Amino acid sequence: MKAVIITIGNEILSGLTVDTNSSYLGRELAAIGIPVVWKTAVGDNPSDIIEAADLGLKAGDLVVCTGGLGPTSDDITLNVLSKHFKQKLVLNKSVFEYLRSRFAKRGVEMPACNLKQAMVPEKAKVLFNSQGTAPGIMFRFKHKKLILLPGVPREVKAIWQEGIRSGLERSPGRRFILSTVLRTTGIPESAIAEKLTALEKTLNPGVLAYLPGQLGVDLRVTLHGADRKSLDKQAGGIIRKMKTALKHHIYGSEGQTLEEVLGLILKKKKLTLGLAESCTGGLIGDRITNVPGISRYFMGGIVAYSNRIKEKMLGVRAQTLVKHGAVSAETVREMAQGAGKIFKSDIGLSISGIAGPDGGSALKPVGLVFIGISGPKGIKVIEKRFLGPRRQIKEMAAQAALNELRLYLGNGSK
């Protein structure tokens, strides 16, 4: 079974939108053993959409289209393709009811143009969209399958996970691609490569990939084969060797976030946390509270953007601020202690730095960040320097703070 992906939308051709749907679908299809053999993008016009669909059905057994299912007049995918493939559109009552209840829940009456989205091909399978109003559509044409999905990435993901994936997993003739990821942070790509030199010599080319990102390097192991079990075994062996070589630099596996790992550690050790953020402005608290159920361990935070607040709420001494400045080891030390005290938490985590673009000096340049941790193992202060624009410095600083807390709590990869 081979797949073709067609992305529909003028904004894709003009480059105003980066097409992440087709990469997502490519990975998902590969993961269940259905390779994508061709991808194409066309604008919102009937003849190009039809030509792409015809070519797609020649090249593959499964054609997945994204885009153009919205309620407005520039969304023409369903009308064009159902006409071309002689699918009669009828009003689908359950879609209609779902749309109406969706609007009702928000206390809004359903606009007339959304009615269009309840018109689906009579013989199609309707794919429920828990994230939006446009349902996905699946229909057959001459023993081949077409799937139409909306263009909003989170809707594509939801429909795929909830309504398509498991069905395709049962189709015959698949070849497996197994892919696992280990996540690292706080160590540069080249240092990882040095630690993995010996292992890499034993691997075929393409098996190990470095995926460097702003907040860390992900390491992906990819194996191909017809037997899922033997692939799992092979991958397990490689992963074990990587863990031995990289130790605490690995914080998690595919899809796991640093804050999730930290949440697990706090839960396991039954420790509570209070925050005192300055340069990150709330980003650390935001990340920590992405973890469901964290309210039992996370007490709260203070975004102390002014010196007055650092002094008044966190109890940083005036003389510390005067003598060492707001961005200093001494200040984050007292901020961390203050956070622990005010939130009555086992741990106080603090951060202060210069996010830029202004406010730097020769002695304290933009990107200088101090992290303070106060807790059962005493007080630890870490100095870091980051390069980049304001947002990037904030993100790297928050990542470093979460990672330093993970290391302070003595929990490496497992």
Q: Which of 47, 86, 93, 108 binds a second copy (CB under 8 A)?
A: 108
Per the DSSP assignment, residues forming a β-bridge with 184 are 250
Q: How far is the CB of 123 from a second copy (least distance, A)?
A: 28
Segment interacting with a second copy (CB under 8 A) among 86-94, 139-147, 165-173, 355-363: 355-363
Q: Which residues lie closer than 8 Å to 279 by C-beta, 6 or more apart?
A: 327, 351, 352, 353, 354, 355, 369, 393, 394, 397
Q: Which of 53, 152, 159, 168 binds a second copy (CB under 8 A)?
A: 152
Q: Does residue 17 interact with a second copy by CB under 8 A?
A: yes
Give the per-residue SS3 of 59-109: HCCEEEEECCCCCCCCCCHHHHHHHHCCCCEEECHHHHHHHHHHHHHCCCC
Nearer to a second copy, 190 or 361 (CB): 190
Segment interacting with a second copy (CB under 8 A) among 65-73, 121-129, 237-245, 403-411: 65-73
Q: Which of 247, 318, 387, 410 binds a second copy (CB under 8 A)?
A: 387
Q: Does residue 85 interact with a second copy by CB under 8 A?
A: no
φ, ψ (nearest 5 deg) of residue 165: -50, -55
Q: How far is the CB of 304 from a second copy (least distance, A)?
A: 5
Q: Does residue 214 interact with a second copy by CB under 8 A?
A: yes
Q: Does residue 199 interact with a second copy by CB under 8 A?
A: no
- Helix or strand holding residue 319 (H, E): helix 318-324
Whether the bond into 357 is cis, omega within 30 of 0:
yes
Residue indicated by tokens 């390097």: 217
Nearer to a second copy, 111 or 236 (CB): 111
Instruction: Confirm if 369 and 279 have CB atoms less than 8 A apart.
Output: yes
Q: Does residue 46 interact with a second copy by CB under 8 A?
A: no
CA distance 260 to 179: 21
Nearest to 19 by CA among 6, 30, 28, 32: 6
Which residues in 219-278 contact a second copy (CB under 8 A)? 220, 222, 275, 277
Q: Does residue 189 interact with a second copy by CB under 8 A?
A: yes
Q: How far is the CB of 332 from a second copy (least distance, A)?
A: 16
Instruction: Confirm if 144 and 138 have CB atoms less than 8 A apart.
Output: no
Q: Which of 156, 355, 373, 397 binds a second copy (CB under 8 A)?
A: 355
Q: How far is the CB of 364 from a second copy (least distance, A)?
A: 14
Instruction: Confirm if 19 and 41 have CB atoms less than 8 A apart.
Output: yes
Q: Which of 144, 325, 390, 413 binds a second copy (CB under 8 A)?
A: 390
Which residues in 287-346 contact a second copy (CB under 8 A)? 288-290, 292-293, 295, 298-306, 308-309, 313, 342-344
Count of CB atoms situated within 10 Å of the CB of 112: 8
Q: Which of 208, 239, 265, 329 binds a second copy (CB under 8 A)?
A: 208
